Amino acid sequence: MSFLILNKTKNSYARIGQLSTNRGLINTPAFMPIGTYGPVKTLSPKDLNDVGSQIILGNTYHLYLRPGIELIKKIKGLHNLIGWKKPILTDSGGFQVFSLAKLNKITNDGVFFTSNIDGKKHFLTPQLSMKIQKILGSDIIMSFDQCPAANIETIELNKAIKRTELWTKKCHEYLSLNNVFKESNTHFFPIIQGGTNEKLREISFNSIQKYTKDGIAIGGLAVGEDKNAMFDIISYLNTIIPNSKLRYLMGVGKPEDIIEAVSLGVDLFDCVIPTRNARNGQFFTWFGKINIINSKYKDDLKPISENCKCYTCVTFTRAYIRHLFKINDTLGLRLATLHNVYFYMELMKEIRMQISKDSFFEWSNKIKDLISSKV
């Protein structure tokens, strides 16, 4: 087994695990910063290493369109292109096709869409998604799935589940025929769909579980549904997904939501929140969120967070960082991103430590409200 559970808590489903990949071990629970086009915006690989990132996420849809697969093939993979030596998970492109591109037609063979960048027409199939991810050199390849919008009719959810099953089968067949599983310790994660409907989630899992070895993804959440309904579904999945499988909750990334999801057995996360919010001047701290643009920070000579050991906090004041944002200097974006990614890595370390001490349940109840507050 490539995924091992090392420790569990008594009062929740939270656990510590370890996933082995070609490029190193990933200690879970873990969070993946997002490198949409390869790089995590404003940060270098050295920055990511310095703050403790174990793995990043690349976006198949965007990388397929820019810079294009030929360049990545020429340089022998995304790792070489961006100078990152640790693991990379690549999503399949399905979510972006359904959310960003102009859809022309969905068939059982794939999706016809028009690029949101230059208006060119493309046909993305499960096999092409796998081919792209193979060229990218992904350590964790995501299955191509149909991600339905929140609160759609049950009949449409059923269609998405059946198509996701078919596409997952095609993905797995392509990877098997091309010796991806034999040649390396590359992981393939199928994706469970079904919205907030428990019965449909079970049907979806049963239809794709044969294609999962070490991990499975929970898709189709954080797309506009009620948050309590989202957590109810994650909790319900504990009755379906075998304990031995790594659970990856796609697209969920508020600190308080990560803590809650960990308590429900989730091991892996990704989200744009720490990096996107940083570029809008929002800093995450243990005592709440700081919006640095606020006038009250104009003459504030304290660091963003006095106990934080990131480069931003040990070097600069709130007043200076606010000044950078007010004059639109890109250094402000970089310092904010550096801090937020560092904070998220520290958050995951703290979660793992609290689980190891079996104090996660008590700690999480104390920290969730504080961490989500506004300073």
DSSP letter for each residue of 23-71 = TEEEEESEEE-EETTSSPTT--HHHHHHHT---EEEEHHHHIIIIIHHH
Q: What is the pLDDT of residue 8?
A: 97
Q: Is 193 in the same domain as 310?
A: no
Q: Is 300 a catalytic residue?
A: no
Last residue of one domain, picked from the residues 270, 291, 307: 270
Q: Is 235 in the same domain as 146?
A: yes
d(CA 130, CA 298): 50
- pLDDT higher than threshold 90 for residue 116: no
Q: What is the pLDDT of residue 101?
A: 66
Pick the catalytic residue from 47, 50, 91, 257: 91
- pLDDT higher than threshold 80 for residue 278: yes
Q: Is 326 in the same domain as 226?
A: no
Q: Is 91 a catalytic residue?
A: yes
d(CA 154, CA 148): 11
Pick the catalytic residue from 232, 267, 270, 299: 270
CA 277 to chain centre: 15
State the chain's mean pLDDT as an integer: 95
Asked if 96 and 56 count as a contact pair (C-beta separation under 8 A), the reply is no
Helix (H, G, I), strand (E, B) or coil at 192: strand
Note down the domain range covering 281.
272-375
Q: Is 253 in the same domain as 286?
A: no
Burial of 105 (C-beta count, 10 Å sphere; 0-12/13-18/19+) = exposed
Greater model confidence, 209 or 95: 209
Number of domain units in the chain? 2
Among 91-105, 145-159, 206-220, 236-250, which stretch is predicted with the lowest mean pLDDT?
91-105
Q: Is 255 in the same domain as 297?
A: no
What phi and psi values does residue 35 have, to the nearest 5 degrees? -110, 85
Greater model confidence, 1 or 127: 127
- The two tokens of residue 14 are 């939270």
* Planar angle of CA 206, 208, 209, nearest 5 degrees: 70
* Average pLDDT of the segment spanning 5-9: 97
Q: Is 208 in the same domain as 85?
A: yes
- pLDDT higher than threshold 70 for residue 318: yes
Q: Is 266 in the same domain as 200?
A: yes
pLDDT grade, residue 121 (50/70/90)?
very high
Q: What is the pLDDT of residue 271?
A: 97
* Average pLDDT of the segment spanning 237-244: 97
Q: Is 140 in the same domain as 282?
A: no
- pLDDT higher than threshold 70 for residue 218: yes
- The two tokens of residue 318 are 């709130």
Q: Is 238 in the same domain as 346?
A: no
* Average pLDDT of the segment spanning 112-129: 91
Q: Is 283 in the same domain as 199?
A: no
Last residue of one domain, picked from the residues 246, 270, 294: 270
Q: Is 215 in the same domain as 293?
A: no
* Average pLDDT of the segment spanning 288-308: 98
d(CA 23, CA 274): 24
Helix (H, G, I), strand (E, B) or coil at 355: helix
Q: Is 162 in the same domain as 255?
A: yes
d(CA 269, CA 265): 12
Asked if 69 and 122 count as a contact pair (C-beta separation under 8 A), the reply is no
Q: What is the pLDDT of residue 1?
A: 61
User: For the domain that residue 223 is a member of, what is the CATH number?
Assistant: 3.20.20.105
Last residue of one domain, picked from the residues 255, 270, 285: 270
215-218 and 246-249: which strand pairing? parallel
pLDDT grade, residue 225 (50/70/90)?
very high
